[in-house]
Structure 1
């Protein structure tokens, strides 16, 4: 199946930072259960990536975030669909990152990012983060 025939999914992902740590979540359902990802989800029609990210984090983690800036956009071919994922550095505005959809979560330093089994598309984001000199809030 070529990319034109494959289902296209466009999502946003939050790289939530607190000092030198990044928030990672573990999927609790579906084909990729137990794999780790940056939280986020699908964009609704007419929604900006920033608005989608704020809505998704509110729905998944009962938390309000500030979307700081785009790190990267990943294009990845999964077996059944093509994913376009816009990944933004974010910080918590209010709330306590309550897990409403994921089975687990961890704060990881850049050196600890390789300690979990990331979803394939998220691995590209992890590599991008690791290649940066800093991940602290004032360096974003």
Structure 2
């Protein structure tokens, strides 16, 4: 089975005293319209942090500071095995602009379960809920 290694960024902000997470809706493929944390494939020779900064610049036109590691998710999709490294990050420049996704929104912690997440991202959501409860 083919293996793919990716990074995903969990952007957070605080609104009215509550933490919110930035989620994007896929604009293509079998999971079109499903929600995920933005990111993408690592390139040869890149660190996780370098790959995440590049991917968010390419997908959202923002510069980020990559923060703490959250988790690594291993998930078997029908046609490939995914290894997804998830890290917190914060915006330090640019304006969030959707260049590849069909939608995006800031989601309060209590509303994370209301979205239809890509299967691998469900594990990230569960991890975030444990960290913030």
Query: Per the shorter chain, which TM-score range?
Result: over 0.9
| Alpha-carbon distance in 2 for matches of 1:112, 1:96 | 24
Choose between structure 1 and 2: higher strand proportion.
Answer: 2
SS across alignment from 1:33: coil
Take 1:114 and 1:122, find their aligned partners in 2: how far apart are those partners?
Answer: 11
Match of residue 59 from structure 1: 58
TM-score using structure 1 length: 0.90
Q: Distance in 1 between matches of 2:132 and 2:82?
A: 27
Q: Which runs of 4+ in 1 moved over 2 A?
A: none
**Could you list the runs of 5+ residues in structure 2 that have no partner in the other structure?**
none
* Residue segments in structure 1 that go unaligned for 5+ positions in a row: 1-5, 135-140
What is the aligned-residue RMSD (CA, Å)? 0.8
- Once the two structures are superposed, the pairs formed by residues 21-36 of structure 1 within 5 Å of their partners are 21-36=20-35
Number of residue-to-residue matches in the alignment: 129
TM-score by length of 2: 0.95
The Cα of 1:133 is off from its aligned counterpart by 2.8
- Match of 1:13? 8
